[in-house]
Amino acid sequence: MALQKLLFIFGTRPEAIKMAPLITQLRQRPDRFEVQVCVTAQHREMLDQVLKLFDLRPEYDLDLMTAGQDLTDLTCRILTGLKPVLAKSRPHRVLVHGDTTTTLGASLAAFYAKIPVAHVEAGLRTGDRYAPWPEEMNRKITTAIADLHFAPTERARQSLLAENVPDSQIHVTGNTVIDALLAVVGKVRIDAGMRDLLGQQFNALDSEKKLVLVTGHRRENFGVGLENICQGLLRVMERFPDTEIVYPVHRNPSVQNTIFQFLGNASEEVRGRLHLIDPLDYLPFVYLMERSHFIITDSGGVQEEGPSLGKPVLVTREISERPEAVAAGTVRLVGTDATRLFDDCERLMTDPDFYSSMSQAHNPYGDGRASERISDILREVTFQ
């Protein structure tokens, strides 16, 4: 049987994490697939960390990251950058992931070149085109272009059916992020030397204190939203002196300016338990997730990863494109209201039954075999 030539196109760290196990799986079948990778590098440094961790060497690197570029600039550069790549690679199919600007641009570039598109992590919806922004619309446009949709859950499948996507094009596979997470956790658990190195990296943390891991980068939370989150975190630190917070601060200046202004002015005692650090590689981030008591985030991926590790997740958003986790009880939406955030943190700190109800709830995002399922489906796909 002739080889099916596949071109993966992605540009951010989350995409790389979620595509890596699928690329690895497909490359284990060289009799069926020829796999190439193109990165746009819309997140240069954070992307490179994951490429190194999963030993991925892109055949094409557009290196499009520039300071201060807006969505229009980035989308235009992705389209023009991919045109010669697609002409040279001539893949039978392009694979994109999720909801990034790279996903949107790559799907459109493939459409212009009349190359079929497969969408990994398809069908996530909030129903609000501006939340998350621009991700919700990126997904919807990609759905309109793709002819093969790998939905992580049945709910995602139903969302696609509601938009008149043919049932024959939709496959429920689970989420590949669980594949990646379990692979990395397995490495850490069996490698004592790796655990020691990770422990040394965070030797400033007090093992006797409860650790709360915080992330935040969504555009819709910039400004007042982030300020309110900071106020809630300060209340938590003041109320619970046996608690430490680790906050890897995103490099976006709109995030950094707010976080360092509001949290950097905390009392000396609180600052001693508040660790504002640079963004982390995926491996140490997974280590901190495992070590944490619970997680506060606006990240989509962490809403899937935290429950897989038995960690309650408080989401600083009013609506989520991952409602399965909310329905399962592993995730709670607290928005950007400081009081709501503090109240749920307090319950997780003081109410063992509440904590248990979140930490032991069923994770709806899969069993770590999504990449295997997608590979099996692609093997049966015909192509021109």
Element (H, E) at 73: helix 71-89
The CA-based diameter of the chain, rounded to the nearest angstrom, is: 67
Whether 121 is catalytic is yes
**Residue the block writes with tokens 């015909």:** 382
331-334: long-range pairs with CB below 8 Å, 24+:
331/303, 331/306, 331/307, 331/358, 332/358
Q: How far apart are CA 102 and CA 76, in angstroms?
A: 10
Q: How far apart are the first and last CA of the chain?
A: 13
Q: Of the residues 61, 99, 305, 321, which is catalytic? A: 99
Q: CA 363 → CA 22, 28, 83, 327, distances in Å?
A: 21, 28, 40, 10
The DSSP annotation for 79-90 comes to: HHHHHHHHHHH-
Q: Of the residues 15, 135, 281, 305, which is catalytic? A: 135
Q: Of the residues 139, 171, 217, 322, which is catalytic? A: 217
Core vs surface per residue 270-282: b (16+ CB within 10 A) or e: beebbbbeebbbb
Q: Of the residues 13, 15, 93, 121, which is catalytic? A: 121
Whether 135 is catalytic is yes
The DSSP annotation for 275-294 comes to: EEEPPPPHHHHHHHHHH-SE
Element (H, E) at 241: none
Q: Of the residues 77, 92, 97, 219, which is catalytic? A: 219
140, two tokens: 């919807």
Closest CA to 259 of 285, 295, 222, 284: 222
Whether 340 is catalytic is no
31, two tokens: 């009799």
Nearest-10 Cα torsion for 204, 210, 216, 222? -100
Q: Which amino acid is present at 94?
A: V
Whether 337 is catalytic is no
CA 134 to chain CA centroid, Å, is 15
Whether 217 is catalytic is yes
How many CB atoms are closer than 10 A to CB 57? 8
Pairing of strands 170-172, 210-214: unpaired
Whether 322 is catalytic is no
Q: Are 23 and 12 in contact (CB under 8 A)?
A: no
Catalytic residues, by residue number, are 99, 121, 135, 217, 219, 250
